[in-house]
Amino acid sequence: MKNIKLTIDNKVVEVAEKTTILKAAKEAGIHIPTLCYLHLHDLDIENKPAGCRICVVEIEGRRNLAPACVTECTEGMVVNTHNIRVLNSRKTV
């Protein structure tokens, strides 16, 4: 699998194709909050990726915010994880 480069919060990151933004950010030491990876089965709570919308990020050139846990990185992608738009969206979840 070939590697691609993208920018997350002004930091150039190189990852394998098909890597999610969440995983790429984690590998780069950038924290994105999540709920979908919590193990809540014992509480009978169904927890699916992209269901909570806590991990939304802004991708330059796209109108809508995207869930980092299921959105795959693409070559040259520019991602913002903690700007005002993203933080305001997380507050409403």
Over residues 17-60, the pLDDT tens digits come to 999 999 999 999 999 998 766 666 666 666 666 677 899 999 99
CA dihedral 89, 70, 8, 40 (to 10 degrees): 70
* Domain assignment of residue 49, given as a range: 3-91
Tell me which residue of 77, 75, 79 sits closest to 17, measured CA to CA: 75
> In the chain, what percentage of residues exceed pLDDT 90?
73
Strands 66-67 and 3-8, sheet pairing: unpaired
How many domains does the chain divide into? 1
Residue 31 sits in a domain whose CATH number is 3.10.20.740
What is the predicted pLDDT for the residue at 92? 80
pTM given for the model: 0.87
What is the predicted pLDDT for the residue at 41? 62
